Amino acid sequence: MPTIQFRTDELTKVQSSAIFQQLGITMSDAINMFLRQSILHGGLPFELKIPRYNKITLAALADMERSKGKGVRGKSVSAALADLKAEDGDNE
């Protein structure tokens, strides 16, 4: 069987290897699945698009970056949203 070599960054390799391990497959198995699916689809087996975020999502991402992972915590989504509204002075 021929050998294919490719380059990726360390984080991508570690994160993807962990996922494949949980699935019970190797990196080689995953790449072979990708290649076979590409053949079956006659192209890439997933949609390629540039993600577009609305201004609320962009603001949340910027806030998350500024907080350095200290994010909003609450007992529930409703509680976390209530905390956010209270911080912003939003009375919706």
* Main-chain phi, psi angles of 26, to 5 degrees: -95, 170
pLDDT at 58: 84
| Statement to judge: residues 17 and 44 lie in one domain | yes
For the question of whether the overall pTM of this predicted structure is more than 0.85, the answer is: no
Three-state SS letters, the chain: CCCCCCCCCHHHHHHHHHHHHHHCCCHHHHHHHHHHHHHHHCCCCCCCCCCCCCHHHHHHHHHHHHHCCCCCCCCCHHHHHHHHHHHHCCCC
- List the domain range (segments joined by +) for residue 7: 1-48
**Distance between CA atoms of residues 4 and 68, nearest Å:** 38
pLDDT at 70: 66
pLDDT digits (tens, 9 = 90+) for 22-38: 999 999 999 999 999 99
User: What CATH number is associated with residue 30?
Assistant: 1.10.1220.10
Which residues of the chain have a pLDDT value below 50? 92
| Statement to judge: residues 44 and 61 lie in one domain | no
